[in-house]
Amino acid sequence: MENYPPMFPSSSSQFSLMNNNNTTHAKEELLFQGKKTTSNGFLGLMASMETPSSDMNSGITNSMEQNEVKSCKKKGEKKIKNLRYAFQTRSQVDILDDGYRWRKYGQKAVKNNKFPRSYYRCTHQGCNVKKQVQRLSKDGGVVVTTYEGMHSHPIENSTDNFEHILSQMQIYASF
DNA sequence: CGTGTTTGACCGGCGC
DNA sequence: GCGCCGGTCAAACACG
């Protein structure tokens, strides 16, 4: 997996948290102050995608953050440079179906959090996109979804995936 | 029968 | 070196 075109328009709003004094739990804190650039209409999209999921929950606090994880494994540089996208969504359900098919492969309890974290992986062959879903112990209504990697294949489920919604939104927004 | 979930074991990195 | 901790594996299980 090299540089596939990311499915999220992610150009300018990029800040890396690797230089900060991130202790272990500072990473979760950073998710809250993700800069939302008004340029991409993506956040609005995310807002719209969680509404039809199950529970119109009206309060939307999602932030997005991307950091390229390079060179954090051993010494020097690293072969796999993963892109990580962390979303924070206010929803009652953990499963935010984005149109891809995910297989759960693990669940662990994290410290400083009473809710477990779930690990998912894309079921396409050759597609190593992973995501992990976690919710905050402080506010159980907030779900943090972290995508890792980029999909190298089209979306399978053509019905009500959010990219489909996005394309329609773009069509409508062009008027 | 195929596909996805559950869940304890396992493993590697890191701090002490 | 050891133990903790976060991430992954895989066998058993559930469900259509």
Q: What is the pTM of this model?
A: 0.64
Lowest-confidence segment of A8-12, A93-97, A108-112, A115-119 by average pLDDT: A8-12
Distance A136 CA to C14 C1' (A): 29
Are A128 and A149 in contact by the 8 Å Cβ rule? The answer is yes
Nearest protein residue to C4's C1' (by CA)? A111
Average pLDDT, stretch A95-111? 83
The pLDDT of residue A107 is 93
Which of A100, A90, A103 lies closest to A164, judged by CA?
Answer: A100
In A 23-82, which Cβ lie closer than 7 Å to strand C? 24
Which residue in the block uniquely carries the two structure tokens 């948290």? A17
